[in-house]
Structure formats: C-alpha cells, structure tokens
C-alpha cells in the first residue's frame, strides 16, 4: 500500500472550518481505500503564522511543504492583519509557497452540477453538465516581466509600464500540462492568445503548435483569440474542454468560466510544478478559489465544497486515484441533488445546512457507495 503525505495549511477565517471537512473526507478514504493511505501534518500560514512567528509562513512550514506529496491550502487574510508590513502580509505566505514550489500551472475547473444549473446567470441548457478546465500559466507573463514601473516624464506626466515576456520553455511546459490533461478528458485543447496584436501571442501560438506536433498529435488542438474565447465562454461554453492560456488572460478567463457555474464556495483549484527528474512527481498545491470570508468566519456557515473538491483534484492529479476522485464528485453531486445547500447557494424549497453538516452528508454519501 502506498502512503501519500499531505500538508494541511488551514490559514485564516473560514480556512480552518473548510479544512476540517476535508479531514473528514481523508479519514473516510484512509478507512476504505485499498491501494493508498494518507498521512497528514498541519501548520500555520497567513495571519495565523504572523501572529505566532511574525512571518506569513515559517521556514519550518515551508520545509514541510517542500517534502509533502501535496499541500491542501484553506485561505488567508482578514481585517485583523490589514496593517501588518507588506512583506509579511498574509498573502505573502501563498506567494512564497507558489514561488518556492515552482507552481507554474494553475488548473481551474468550471463544473456545473445539474442541481445548481438554475443558479447560473446563463440559461440551464447552456451550463447544465458543463465541465471545462482552464490551464493558466502562473509564474510568467505581464505580472512578473521587467521593466514594471511608473516614471514621471519631463513634462510632469506619468508613464506606467508592464512588460509581457514569455520564453519557449515557459510556453512548452504549460502546453504539455494542457495536453496531458486533455488525454485524460475528452482530448481537446483550445490555446488562447492575441497573436494578432502581441508578439508574445505569436510565439505562444508557434510553440503550442510545435509542442502539439511533437508531443501530443493524438490530442485535438484549436487556436482561438483570447477576446473571442471570452465571448464564446458565455455564448456556448460547452464547446470547450481544456483551455490553455497565459497568466493575464488566464486570470480573467478562469474567473469568467467559473462564475457561469455558480458560487465562490463551489470552486476548487490546483497549482502544479514541474515533474521531478527522478520520481516524476510534481509539487502541487490545492486550494479553493475563495478567500477567508471574514464576514462569515467562525459561524459554521461556510460552504466546504470548494475545499473538498480541491482535495478531489489532489486525488486525481497528484495520486492517480481517479476512481476515488470520481466517487467524491458523485457524492457532492448527490448531496446537492438531494436538496442540501449551504447559505451561499440556498434556493427556495431546499434544506439549508451548515459547514459541518454539509461535510458529514458528503462523507455519508461516500460511505453509501463504498466498495
Ligand atoms: P472572499 O472570497 O473571502 O469572500 C467574498 C464573499 O464570498 C464573502 O461574502 C464571503 O462570505 C463569500 N464566500 C467566500 N467563500 C465562501 C464559502 N466557502 N462559503 C460561503 N460563502 C463564501 O473574498 P474577500 O471578501 O474579497 O476577501 C476576504 C479576505 O480573503 C481578504 O483578506 C482577502 O485578501 C483574502 N483572500 C484570500 C485568498 C486566498 O487565500 N487564496 C483569495 C481571495 C481573497
């Protein structure tokens, strides 16, 4: 039996409440899974780490993250830490994790559970059963390129500059992630850029095309301009399977795609690094898209599904446990179909439950179908 090590970093606000529900799911799989079990360790990040160590993440916690097979992250931040120095603000903990673990690929699924299709701003027939994966390049592009500055000109005007930079290597490695994912899904990738107006778009297009030819000719590849992609996502989102794109377009398109499917409390994500040369394993961090929700923290109101589904992504992408991941997805869908809702996704005629009841219901559903 294989043992997988998990580092749990609940962080601040509702992070602790939603990670507690993930622990319930982990305990279930430890009891029932035949091929693997999980060993967990927990540490502080964000405001909680600042309160104890004066840092957004301690070196010791960072070392644990480097060693773990996957990190499961809750959320960080809150008004309590608004005034702390910039370098040790809660978000710095997440940024250090992304940087030190080399997490260059951000995976953002947009899945619409049939029971929630009416909560979408789009018509039911457009979103019901939707299952898209946006693969966003996370460590390059215009958010990091230099020069990045605001200068004052001789005439007193100011000029701001951000620089979009991509290299062949950066584009090729994210394209490979997208092609690998597509092979496990419906085998189709759209690559979104702006080659009509940006030199980085021209290179992006060339490198994705070459990588496709050399590495993944079995996958279907289509190129799409990023602005058209934004339109198509609200016109006919089901035409997409995997979309690969740069850091800036990915930021916007992943939020757009996700929001067609419902609430922040439902959205998981994964960030992956390069495969280790010896073991082939990728460093990985899994986290809900939402923040620490200080307005509802400590009240037992948080929706734990985004964090539980993030653990589901860990099963699928770090541990090759697709059967278990599918079972977890089905349990979430069944609980929603049975009418259970946390406050953020409450609809007329449904039964409102708190964080712990939602977690318990998902585990109960899992137990019902345990092999
Ligand atoms: P937020 O995502 O925390 O909350 C936005 C709204 O959505 C709130 O009304 C909240 O109650 C609701 N919400 C969020 N998650 C929910 C859930 N699981 N269940 C039910 N309702 C949920 O965003 P914000 O209010 O802009 O930020 C609050 C804090 O979180 C800030 O300090 C911000 O910097 C931080 N933040 C952290 C992360 C992260 O840790 N990755 C991401 C975004 C924001």
Question: Ligand 1 in contact with 77 (CB < 6 A)?
Answer: yes
Question: Ligand 1 in contact with 293 (CB < 6 A)?
Answer: yes
Residues 6+ apart with CB under 8 A from 279: none
Predicted local confidence at residue 370, as pLDDT: 65
**pLDDT tens digits, the chain, 371 residues: what are they?**
899 999 999 999 999 999 999 999 999 999 998 889 999 999 999 999 999 999 999 999 999 999 999 999 999 999 999 999 999 999 999 999 999 999 999 999 999 998 999 888 899 999 998 999 999 999 999 998 999 999 999 999 999 999 999 999 999 999 999 999 999 899 999 999 999 999 999 999 999 999 999 999 999 999 999 999 999 999 999 999 999 999 999 999 998 998 887 778 999 999 999 988 898 899 999 999 999 999 999 999 999 999 999 999 999 999 999 999 999 999 999 999 999 999 999 999 999 999 999 999 999 999 997 65
Give me ligand 1 centre to Cα 184, in Å. Answer: 31
Is 180 one of the catalytic residues?
A: no
Give me ligand 1 centre to Cα 291, in Å. Answer: 3
Question: Ligand 1 in contact with 78 (CB < 6 A)?
Answer: yes
Predicted local confidence at residue 371, as pLDDT: 54
Which residue is catalytic, options 43, 194, 286, 317?
Answer: 194
Predicted local confidence at residue 264, as pLDDT: 85
pLDDT tens-digit map of 50-74: 999 999 999 999 999 999 999 999 9
Look at ligand 1, atom 6, and give the residue with the nearest C-alpha. Answer: 293
**Ligand 1 atom nearest to 18, measured from its CA:** 18
Question: Ligand 1 in contact with 292 (CB < 6 A)?
Answer: yes
How far, in Å, CA of 251 to CA of 245, rounded? 9
Is 69 one of the catalytic residues?
A: no
Question: Ligand 1 in contact with 307 (CB < 6 A)?
Answer: no
Q: Which of 264, 308, 341, 352 to mutate to test the pocket of ligand 1 (most atoms within 8 A of CB)?
A: 264
Candidates 25, 97, 23, 24; CA nearest to 59 is 97
CB atoms near residue 208 (< 10 Å): 25
Predicted local confidence at residue 280, as pLDDT: 87
Show the 3-state SS of the chain.
CEEEEEEEEEECCCHHHHHHHHHHHHHHHHHHCCCEEEEEEECCCCHHHHHHHCCCCCHHHHHHHHHCCEEEEEECCCHHHCCCCHHHCCHHHHHHHHHHCCCCEEEEEEECCHHHHHHCCCCHHHHCCCEEEEEEECCCHHHCEEEEEEEECCCCCEEEEEECCCCHHHHHHHHHHHHHHHHHCCCEEEEEECCCCCHHHHHHHHHHHHHHHHHCCCCEEEEEEHHHHHHHHHHCHHHCCEEEECHHHHHHHHHHHHHCCCCHHHCEEEEEEEECCCCCCEEEEEEECCCCCCCCCCCCCCCCHHHHHHHHHHHHHCCCCHHHHHHHHHHHHHHHHCCEECHHHCCCCCEECCHHHHHHHHHHHHHHCCC
Are 120 and 112 in contact by the 8 Å Cβ rule? The answer is yes
Look at ligand 1, atom 30, and give the residue with the nearest C-alpha. Answer: 291
Question: Ligand 1 in contact with 265 (CB < 6 A)?
Answer: yes
Question: Ligand 1 in contact with 226 (CB < 6 A)?
Answer: no
Question: Ligand 1 in contact with 291 (CB < 6 A)?
Answer: yes
Q: Structure tokens of 19?
A: 């990670």
Predicted local confidence at residue 47, as pLDDT: 98
**Ligand 1 atom nearest to 355, measured from its CA:** 19
Give me ligand 1 centre to Cα 16, in Å. Answer: 13
Long-range contacts of 345-348 (CB under 8 A, 24+ apart): 345/116, 345/119, 345/262, 345/263, 345/265, 345/266, 345/303, 347/118, 347/119
Candidates 117, 345, 134; CA nearest to 233 is 134
């Amino acid at each position: 039996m294989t043992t997988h090590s998990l580092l749990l970093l609940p962080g601040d606000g509702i992070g602790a409440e939603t990670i507690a529900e993930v622990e319930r799911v982990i305990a279930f799989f430890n009891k029932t899974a035949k091929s693997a079990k999980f060993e967990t360790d927990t540490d502080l990040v964000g405001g909680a780490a600042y309160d104890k160590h004066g840092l957004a993440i301690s070196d010791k916690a960072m070392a644990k993250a480097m060693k773990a097979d996957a990190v499961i992250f809750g959320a960080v931040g809150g008004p309590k830490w608004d005034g702390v120095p910039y370098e040790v603000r809660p978000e710095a903990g997440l940024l250090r994790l992304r940087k030190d673990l080399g997490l260059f690929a951000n995976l953002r699924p947009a899945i619409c559970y049939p029971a929630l299709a009416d909560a979408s701003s789009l018509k039911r027939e457009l979103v019901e059963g939707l299952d898209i994966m946006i693969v966003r390049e996370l460590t390059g592009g215009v958010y990091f390129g230099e020069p990045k500055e605001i200068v004052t000109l001789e005439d007193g005007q100011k000029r701001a500059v951000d620089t979009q930079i991509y290299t062949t290597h950066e584009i090729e490695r994210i394209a490979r992630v997208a092609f690998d994912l597509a092979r496990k899904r419906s085998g189709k990738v759209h690559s979104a850029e702006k080659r009509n107006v940006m030199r980085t778009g021209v290179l992006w297009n060339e490198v994705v095309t070459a990588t496709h030819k050399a590495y993944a000719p079995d996958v279907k590849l289509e190129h799409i301009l990023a602005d058209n992609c934004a339109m198509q996502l609200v016109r006919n989102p089901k035409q997409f399977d995997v979309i690969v794109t740069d850091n800036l377009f990915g930021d916007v398109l992943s939020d757009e795609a996700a929001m067609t499917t419902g609430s922040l409390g439902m959205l998981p994500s994964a960030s992956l690094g390069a495969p280790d040369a010896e073991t082939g394993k990728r460093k990985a961090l899994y986290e809900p898209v939402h923040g620490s929700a200080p307005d509802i923290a400590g009240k037992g109101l948080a929706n734990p599904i985004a964090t539980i589904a993030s653990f589901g992504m860990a099963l699928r992408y770090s541990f090759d446990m697709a059967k278990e991941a599918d079972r977890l997805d089905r349990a979430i869908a069944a609980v929603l179909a049975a009418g259970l809702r946390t406050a953020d996704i409450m609809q007329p005629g449904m039964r409102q439950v708190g964080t712990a009841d939602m977690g318990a219901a998902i585990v109960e559903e899992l137990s019902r179908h345990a092999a």
